[in-house]
């Protein structure tokens, strides 16, 4: 398969370093606030990449980190008057709720920065030893001028960056571009002991240390949002390659941003932005479809209207997969197998999920026709659609019957209503349908039988 490599600025054929084993390090959250749709898009992009590689037969080790100590976490803990660890754990927990609801495949490991202080310190010491770092009164800085390739990922040159510098440089830095490897603790700040004194890790070093620990000095794929390209990923390269002398990452994978225009992004305007809030109103499959109907690298506009649109579209797929028998069958027909080839062709092309959905909608149309005609091929088409949807991580397709007794009751109600319809007592049969609709149960009369679904 081909994936777009930010480092090369083009699509490249993906080949792992070692056989069919693939290491992926994906930049997770700084656990300072609730996961929002932008985070979700990133995690979902990583999830699709991982699932598809696994489908293609690769053995994937997937690392998702948590940065669980940083300035904002500390600030928030002061504001709330609680321990900083409580903040980190709160949002980490929310991440896991999102992961579970959205059926994002759990990572192989979830390393936390604070659990890798030793690895981080070893890396900093190594950089200091190699003269890529300098210590000023307990603050250890990375000396950007020492790293020849600085800027190779983001396409920036050191000169430009100096001109464009917009923040007040820390007085202990030699150069405004230098970044922190180890940050000296100010009074009241949490700290860890180190050879440099009490302090905490800098802003980028944890990813370098943890990526190398779990996946080796050179990793196949390192991913995250495009907003991490600079400075986060650029600095990771500088640190890691200076320390090891080896390439840090072979393929850089970055997803596009989620934008909010028109309305201001704030809780007061009622614009839901937290994933857990959105999930109160829309199903995980609708949200997933919304995010995957655009290519992962394109910017994505988020609005209620657009999600509503996605909801209608998803219902078309959902209606189809809830038709007929629940049974799935093996795909034997060569004609049908061609569709799987198409699916692979599109996914191989840098995960072109929009084309995959075009294919799925074609199949839904064909499948519906077969269904109407009572053709056996219906089940085969449905099975392929389910196969593709599962590879993309959609889930929970089965009719949602809250319990057996609800199902049994509905069967009785529908039977009675059927009698009423036969007696042409439509006022009553329509009342039943309306009342059930108000409960969130949709009754649909088909030629031969009546079906129901929950909304």
Partner RNA sequence: GGCGGCGUGGCCGAGUGGCUCAGGCAGCGGUUUGCAAAACCGCUUACCUCGGUUCGAUUCCGGGCGCCGCCUCCA
Range 163-202, binding RNA (CB under 7 A): 163-167, 179
Q: Is 449 in the site for RNA (CB under 7 A)?
A: no
Tell whether residue 203 is a contact of RNA (CB under 7 A).
yes
Q: Minimum Å distance from CB 245 to RNA?
A: 25
Contact stretch for RNA (CB under 7 A) within 183-191, 222-230, 337-345, 390-398: 222-230
Q: How far is the CB of 175 from RNA (least distance, A)?
A: 12
CA distance 37 to 258: 7
Residue 79, interface with RNA (CB under 7 A)?
A: no
* H or E element, residue 322: none
Instruction: Quote the tokens at residue 190.
Output: 């949490």
Cβ-in-10-Å burial (0-12, 13-18, 19+) of 327 comes to: exposed
226 binds RNA (CB under 7 A): yes
Candidate list 421, 436, 441, 452; residue touching RNA; CB under 7 A:
421
Contacts of 454 (CB under 8 A, 6+ apart): 399, 400, 401, 402, 440, 441, 442
* Residue corresponding to tokens 């993906």: 14
Minimum distance from CB of 161 to RNA (Å)?
Answer: 5
Helix (H, G, I), strand (E, B) or coil at 331: coil
Q: Which of 75, 316, 337, 400 touches RNA (CB under 7 A)? A: 316
- Candidates 3, 22, 38, 252; binder of RNA (CB under 7 A) is 38
Q: Which token pair is 117? A: 């202080």
Closer residue to RNA in complex, CB, 121/205: 205
CB of 312 to RNA, least distance (A): 4
Q: Is 41 in the site for RNA (CB under 7 A)?
A: yes
CA distance 247 to 242: 9
Task: Give Cβ neighbours of residue 368 (< 8 Å, ≥ 6 apart).
Answer: 320, 323
Q: Does 365 bind RNA (CB under 7 A)?
A: yes
> How far is CA 436 from each of CA 422, 446, 453, rounded to the nearest angstrom?
19, 17, 10
Q: Residue from 22, 24, 25, 30 that binds RNA (CB under 7 A)? A: 30
Binding of RNA by 394 (CB under 7 A):
no
Helix (H) or strand (E) holding 8: none
The distance of closest approach from Cβ of residue 18 to RNA in the complex, given in angstroms and rounded to an integer, is 26
Question: Smallest gap, in angstroms, from Cβ of residue 361 to RNA?
Answer: 3
Please state the closest distance from residue 157 (CB atom) to RNA, in A: 7
CB of 42 to RNA, least distance (A): 3
Q: How do 139-142 and 133-136 pair as beta strands?
A: antiparallel
Residues 82-141 that bind RNA (CB under 7 A): none
Binding segment for RNA (CB under 7 A), chosen from 13-21, 86-94, 360-368, 403-411, is 360-368
**Closer CB to RNA, residue 57 or residue 282?**
282
Does 429 participate in binding RNA (rule CB under 7 A)? yes
Asked if 22 contacts 53 with a C-beta cutoff of 8 angstroms, the reply is: yes
- Identify the residue among 22, 205, 229, 347 touching RNA (CB under 7 A): 229
Q: Which two tokens stand for residue 399?
A: 């009719």
**Closest C-alpha to 322, from 393, 392, 376, 401:** 401
């Amino acid at each position: 398969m081909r994936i777009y490599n930010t480092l090369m600025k083009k699509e490249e054929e993906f080949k792992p370093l070692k056989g069919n084993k693939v290491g992926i390090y994906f930049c997770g959250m700084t656990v300072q606030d609730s996961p929002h749709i932008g985070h979700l898009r990133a995690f979902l992009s990583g999830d699709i990449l991982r699932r598809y590689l696994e489908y293609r037969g690769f053995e994937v080790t997937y690392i998702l980190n948590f940065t669980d100590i940083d300035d904002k976490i500390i600030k928030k803990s002061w504001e709330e008057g609680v321990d900083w660890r409580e903040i980190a754990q709160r949002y980490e927990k929310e991440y896991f709720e999102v992961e579970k609801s959205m059926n994002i495949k759990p990572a192989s490991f979830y390393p936390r920065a604070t659990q890798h202080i030793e690895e981080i310190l070893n890396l900093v010491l190594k950089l200091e030893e190699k003269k890529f770092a300098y210590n000023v009164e307990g603050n250890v800085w990375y000396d950007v001028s020492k790293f020849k390739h600085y800027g190779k990922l983001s396409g920036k040159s050191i000169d430009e960056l100096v001109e464009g510098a917009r923040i007040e440089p820390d007085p202990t830095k030699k150069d405004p571009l230098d970044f922190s490897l180890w940050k000296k603790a100010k009074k009241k700040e949490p700290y860890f002991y180190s050879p440099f004194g009490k302090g905490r890790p800098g802003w980028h070093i944890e990813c370098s240390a943890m990526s190398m620990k779990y996946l080796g000095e050179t990793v196949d794929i390192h991913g995250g949002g495009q907003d991490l390209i600079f400075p986060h990923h650029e600095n990771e390269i500088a640190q890691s390659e200076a320390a090891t002398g080896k390439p840090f990452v072979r393929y850089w994978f970055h997803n596009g941003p989620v934008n909010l225009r028109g309305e201001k992004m704030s809780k007061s305007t009622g614009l839901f932005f937290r994933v857990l809030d959105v999930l109160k109103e829309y199903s995980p499959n609708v949200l997933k479809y919304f995010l995957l109907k655009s290519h992962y690298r394109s910017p994505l506009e988020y609005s209620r209207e657009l999600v509503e649109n996605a909801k209608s579209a998803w219902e078309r797929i959902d209606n189809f997969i809830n038709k007929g028998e629940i049974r799935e069958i093996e795909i034997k027909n060569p004609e049908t197998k061609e569709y799987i080839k198409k699916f692979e062709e599109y996914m191989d092309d840098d995960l072109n999920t929009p084309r995959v959905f075009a294919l799925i909608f074609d199949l839904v149309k064909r499948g519906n026709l077969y269904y109407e005609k009572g053709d056996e091929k219906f089940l085969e088409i449905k099975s392929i659609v389910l196969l593709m949807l599962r590879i993309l991580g959609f889930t929970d397709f089965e009719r949602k019957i809250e319990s057996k007794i609800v199902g049994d009751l509905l069967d009785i109600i529908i039977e009675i209503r059927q009698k009423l319809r036969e007696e042409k007592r439509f006022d009553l049969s329509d009342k039943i349908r309306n009342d059930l609709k108000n409960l969130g149960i949709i009754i649909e009369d088909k030629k031969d039988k009546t079906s129901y679904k929950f909304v």
